[in-house]
Amino acid sequence: MKKVILAYSGGLDTSCAVRWIQDTYGAQVICFSAFMGEAKNRNELRLKARSAGASKVYIEDLKKEFAENFVRPSLWAHALYEGQYPLATALGRPLIAKWLVQIAVKEKADCVAHGCSGKGNDQVRIEAGVRALHPKLKILAPLREWAFTSRGEEIDYAKKHGIKISATKKSPYSIDKNIWGVSVEAGVLEDPWKAPPEDAYSVTQSLDRTPSAPRTVTIDFEGGNPIAINGKRLSLVSLIERLNQVGGHYGVGRIDMVENRLVGIKSREIYEAPAATILHLAHGALESLVLDRELLHYKRLLSEKYAELVYFGLWYSPLREALDEFFASYQDRVSGTVKVKLARGTATVVGRKSEHSLYSEKLATYSAQDEFDRSAAEGFIKIWGLPYERRKK
């Protein structure tokens, strides 16, 4: 191996990895960092990578691409892994894989590398993604190979080699953050019985600090896309960021779950995803107004499958692509406005309207304006229940 493109976070692991790859394989290392919603200082990142020995550093702001090509389809699919996790981390990995491959091709590199641990889902997502896009590239996962057994050993290694590491105290948790959500694990969270301490949360306020008065926001959708908050038009990225702020202020979007990793382990993870929580809720509320029953019920089955594909690292698969086409096929009707009430950790839909609404007040009403043909109900019920009359009692 001659030239390696390393997905670089600026943390201790990937900083040590730069030097470790050079020493172990004698290869040149180019670092690539993606911005997907975590506030990072470009210069600092560049300096750190350089101090570790990177010959070149790519820093790309991928928020827009992430929002439009990964988050949006997952919103349309209502993709929630095991019914809860909006997949923020999982959706970011195939995008990193795509960029690793792109840069490798541009730089004529023969290998890509990442700093994922050897027991998580992320190694699978990045590597399966890279292989689907460019099967010939070698893949290196230093954390699966090297002999360091503790953070302390890595710190010693960094010091010995003049690698700059953050002066700020390391969080007791392992955190991954992007605009679609924050994933937090490790530390005391490893005991699934222990309630998450407040310091595990960074974007949502604790429930006893949220405002006592609720707040209602409206979200406008056009062709399935959320386009405005309270009538103010925003790009998808800004809209998500805004909902994270507002929702986070009301403590919305905390998720505490034990999930089934692809690699067979059950793990306890907490998530903070105010925007994802609100948008899934609002988009779903609008769909229930504009889509017919059969479509609504059937697509739910596909949502489950879609979430698994994303979680299991199969973004670059024909089934994911086909499902995306399915979910996209009716989004032209998902236009309208949803009213969401935020109060003490909860987001609740309290109103919805659409020009494509299939709701008919004249059919639904119990008042004198009723136009539903009750006389047709009797015959309908007779035939509907017919198969079951013949069943032995």
User: Which residues form the interface with ligand ARG (CB under 6 A)?
Assistant: 89-90, 120-122, 174-176, 183-185, 269
Rank residues 155 and 175 by Cβ distance to ligand ARG and give the closer one: 175
Provide, rounded to whole angstroms, the least separation between the CB of residue 218 and ligand ARG.
31
Judged by DSSP in three states, 330 sits in coil
Rank residues 249 and 268 by Cβ distance to ligand ARG and give the closer one: 268
Q: Which of 93, 125, 254, 352 is catalytic?
A: 93
The tokens describing 139, both together, are 């893949």
Angle at 144 between CA 140 and CA 147, to 5 degrees: 115
Q: What does the chain come to in residues? A: 393
Confirm whether 268 is a catalytic residue: no
Confirm whether 93 is a catalytic residue: yes
Rank residues 122 and 287 by Cβ distance to ligand ARG and give the closer one: 122
Half-sphere exposure at residue 258, Cβ-oriented, CA atoms within 13 angstroms: 9
Do 326 and 309 contact (CB within 8 A), yes or no?
no
In angstroms, the CA 343 to CA 347 distance is 7
User: Ramachandran region of residue 10, left (φ > 0), alpha (ψ -120 to 50) or beta?
Assistant: left
Provide, rounded to whole angstroms, the least separation between the CB of residue 35 and ligand ARG.
17
Rank residues 190 and 370 by Cβ distance to ligand ARG and give the closer one: 190
Listing from the earlier edge strand, what are the strands of the sheet with 225-229? 232-233, 225-229, 215-222, 336-343, 346-353
Rank residues 93 and 333 by Cβ distance to ligand ARG and give the closer one: 93
The tokens describing 331, both together, are 């989004």
Provide, rounded to whole angstroms, the least separation between the CB of residue 183 and ligand ARG.
4
Provide, rounded to whole angstroms, the least separation between the CB of residue 275 and ligand ARG.
17
Dihedral sign, Cα of residue 3, residue 8, residue 10, residue 13: negative
H/E element holding 155? helix 151-160
Rank residues 139 and 175 by Cβ distance to ligand ARG and give the closer one: 175
Do 338 and 357 contact (CB within 8 A), yes or no?
no
In angstroms, the CA 294 to CA 298 distance is 6
Provide, rounded to whole angstroms, the least separation between the CB of residue 184 and ligand ARG.
5
Distances (CA, A) of 288 to 12, 295, 334, 355: 47, 10, 9, 13
Provide, rounded to whole angstroms, the least separation between the CB of residue 199 and ligand ARG.
15
Provide, rounded to whole angstroms, the least separation between the CB of residue 92 and ligand ARG.
9
Confirm whether 220 is a catalytic residue: no
In angstroms, the CA 249 to CA 277 distance is 14
- Residue 179 has what DSSP assignment? T
Beta bridge partners of 112: 5, 139
Beta bridge partners of 343: 346
Q: Which of 9, 13, 19, 72 is catalytic?
A: 13
In angstroms, the CA 102 to CA 330 distance is 32
Provide, rounded to whole angstroms, the least separation between the CB of residue 89 and ligand ARG.
4
Q: Cβ of 343: how many Cβ atoms within 10 Å? A: 17
Distances (CA, A) of 187 to 49, 170, 262, 386: 27, 12, 21, 59
Q: Which of 72, 122, 267, 333 is catalytic?
A: 122
Q: Cβ of 214: how many Cβ atoms within 10 Å? A: 14
Residues marked as catalytic = 13, 93, 122, 174
